[in-house]
Chains A and B, each alone.
Chain A
Amino acid sequence: MRFGPTRLITVGVVILLALAPFLSPLIHVDISIVNEVLLFTLAAMSANLLLGYTGLPPFGNAAFFGLGTYGAGLSIKYFHVNFIEATLLGTAAALLGALVVGPFLVRRRGIYFGLLSIAFGQVFYFIAYRFTDVTGGEDGMNFARPYLGISNFHVTLHGSGFYYLTLVVFVASILAFKLLVESPFGRTLVAIRQNEVRVRYLGLDSNRFVFVAILISATMAGLGGALFGMLNNFAWPLLMDWHQSGDFVLSVILGGSGTIWGPLLGSAIYVIGKDIISSYTNLWQIFIGALFVACVLGFPRGILGSILARFGTAPLSNESEEANWTQSPAIAADHHG
């Protein structure tokens, strides 16, 4: 078995994550922050599926993340479900949300998709914000962390216990994600990004593929959101705001869109950076804004994307395709009109 850069990254990252409860105190970071990184990454990966693979700017994924959080929180608060049930219900809530808004998004591409996803994501924000009697409105909603609920195993997870559970879910998700994007389905998504017209000529209904991609993306974000809710025992509307979606997209671009591990890297920098900087100054927003600007102008391929490109195993880079587009105006014209 040869160890290429990708395999090295995989092994290194998994070891690092497994040791995180012991390593994080060394840099004065609470394990719950690392836990947050993993859950944030699930949302970023869900954005990556649409952005990096399918080529659609997803600016509403925070709504799915938040639906997961509220789905879990509400079902704990009003139906007293256990941990596993809450996770499943939260994920299902996000999937349901995607089934409702998906048909509106699925026919559009490019910036039109971006605008629609912002707008439809915002609907859920305002529902959580205004439906005060049920959701607690602007103040958010508290709920207790439920029992794990495997047979009679009545135990509530805390600290590292919760972290390792998250890690299991996370590694499973990464694996599923890798299998997904390397499957014929995933390849078709990439093909849609590269040249949708050609995909259609091959007899494939690209809208159907995009719709399924949106559903998968929402499910992943919802899973992350549900666990995130139970990590904080709290749900609040700003979680669904489009600014949050923007942070997910930033994490993807920062780490490297169209790569497996990019979202993790981006999310780690974002979440841990926010934790450290905001303990010194409350001007965090200026830093994050500057990070956006620097990332876009400085390394649009993302950190991991640039590294992989140097090793010759370039990820699905946007740059080279850009060149293709401009070189063949016929295809571009075909695509646009």
Chain B
Amino acid sequence: MQTARPGSTIALRLAAIVVGLGALLAIVFLLSKNGQVSTQLFNGLVLGAFYAIVALGLSLIMNLTGTINMAHGSFMTLSGYLAFAMVSRGTNFWFALIVAPLMTVIVGVLVERTLIRPLYQKEPIYSLLLTFGLSLMAEEIYHIIWGANGVPFSPPPSLAGTVGLGFMSFPAFRLFIALVLLLMIAAIALFLTRTRFGLRLRAAVQDSEMIAALGTNTQVLYMVNFALGIFLAGVAGVLAAGLLGLNPTSGNTLLMPAFVTVIIGGMGSLFGSIVGGVLVGLATSLTTLWIPAASEVAMYALMAIVLTIRPRGLFGEEGLFG
């Protein structure tokens, strides 16, 4: 059994994230004379933040219940489409950014309570297959409602244009996305380390039977944990819709990099998901710059290298998840 991880370690890790991201941004500035490279680096960071958020949601669900949520991408797409439906009916973007993920969470909790819950006692392959089936159905349903082609979903005028920071200018929407995703990562870390509920969640990951015996309703934990993962997916889904486009499969295209992110970061480690996301994002965008044809394969190559050196991933705990 792995040892308990004190909160201070997590605070240290949080500091490491901030320092690490700061260092990466510094590289961007240093290289800013070469406009192309710095742009790709920045894009890579934003992309990496997406992967990290999706991977975080996946890891939360996977760590506690052993469910590989294959429908995670579908929830992202759903949230994107809900936001699109609201905005195209005249709702304000900011409202949609909050409400669409919440509506997605409601759908997610319904699915978890009715369909996934009966499978918690069984082998993980069953919940994996179930969510896989759900994602197939969802894709076709989006197809029927919103059509096979992408729908236009653009960020609000206030986020259009660029923001100049002296050395270089960033597209405002990308900067906004980076900010929101960073805030969400920080909020999750604080929630897990500084609230009673977060502590229970982490304790349940280690030994859910013991937590149940100590008087915590583990079903509530499972539900809230799932909701949390879906909420992350939902927010990422709306932002991704504005940045990467919105079509029935758009969420699923982020799912595979998120899996690779989890593997690189190490299963069981939320911190690993964040670092892994940034690495995968950078690897993908930098390869796009130099060898466009290899952009998808780059992250798998990175994964193979990481696994060769560290079979459990960068921050994975040995023994956990076989």
Contacts and interface: CB of A to CB of B under 8 A. Distances in A.
A230 B110 CA distance: 46
A57 B124 contact: yes
Contacts of B134: 289, 292-293
A119 B129 contact: no
Contacts of A57: 124-125, 128
Interface stretch (B79-87, B115-123, B169-177): B115-123
B93 interface: no
Interface string A244-264: 001001100100000000000
Interface centre among A113, A243, A283, A286 (most CB of B within 10 A): A286
Contacts of B1: 333, 336-337
Contacts of A333: 1
Interface in B186-208: none
Contacts of A293: 115, 130, 133-134, 137
A318 interface: yes
Interface stretch (A24-32, A102-110, A148-156): A102-110
A336 B66 CA distance: 13
A122 B209 CA distance: 36
A292 B136 contact: yes
Interface residues of B, number: 51
Given A118-B259, A122-B256, A130-B296, A290 B267 contact: no
A297 B2 contact: no
Interface stretch (B4-12, B34-42, B227-235, B303-311): B303-311
Interface stretch (B150-158, B218-226, B239-247, B314-322): B314-322
Contact of A114 (B124, B133, B304): B124
Contact of A285 (B122, B136, B300): B136
A296 B319 contact: no
Contacts of B126: 253, 296, 300
Contact of B62 (A111, A130, A243, A290): A111
Given A57-B124, A108-B322, A126-B296, A115 B267 contact: yes
Contacts of A199: none
Nearest to A253: B129
B122 A300 contact: yes
B286 interface: no
The binding surface of chain A is classed by DSSP as helix
Interface string B33-53: 000000000000000000000
A292 B262 contact: no
B267 A112 contact: yes
B128 A114 contact: yes
Contacts of B267: 111-112, 115
A337 B307 contact: no
B28 interface: no
Nearest to A113: B322
Contacts of B133: 250, 288-293, 296
Contacts of A322: 121-123
Nearest to B307: A104
Interface string B101-143: 0000000000000010011011111111110111111111100
Nearest to A300: B126
Contacts of B311: 107-108
A130 B132 contact: no
Interface string A110-152: 1111111011101100110111000000000000000000000
B76 interface: no
B97 interface: no
Given A112-B322, A286-B141, A336-B319, A130 B125 contact: no
A329 B144 CA distance: 48
B68 A114 contact: yes
B263 A289 contact: no
B121 A115 contact: no
A129 B209 CA distance: 46
B128 A337 contact: no
A51 B68 CA distance: 16
B321 A296 contact: no
B293 interface: yes
B279 interface: no
A238 interface: no
Contacts of A107: 311
Given A300-B126, A336-B319, A116 B140 contact: no
A168 to B, nearest CB: 32
User: Closest 5 interchain pairs by CB?
Assistant: A292-B133, A109-B322, A289-B137, A289-B136, A285-B140
Given A288-B133, A293-B133, 14 more contacts: A57-B124, A57-B128, A114-B125, A115-B262, A129-B296, A283-B140, A286-B141, A291-B133, A293-B115, A293-B130, A297-B118, A322-B123, A329-B209, A337-B1
Interface of B: 1-2, 62, 66, 68, 70, 115, 118-119, 121-130, 132-141, 144, 209, 256, 259-260, 262-263, 267, 293-294, 296-297, 300, 303-304, 307-308, 311, 319-322
Interface of A: 51, 57, 59, 104, 107-116, 118-120, 122-123, 126-127, 129-131, 242-243, 246, 249-250, 253, 283, 285-286, 288-293, 295-297, 300, 318, 322, 326, 329, 333, 335-337
20 contacts: A110-B66, A114-B124, A119-B256, A127-B297, A130-B293, A130-B297, A249-B129, A253-B126, A283-B144, A285-B136, A285-B137, A285-B140, A286-B136, A289-B134, A293-B130, A293-B137, A296-B127, A296-B129, A300-B122, A336-B322
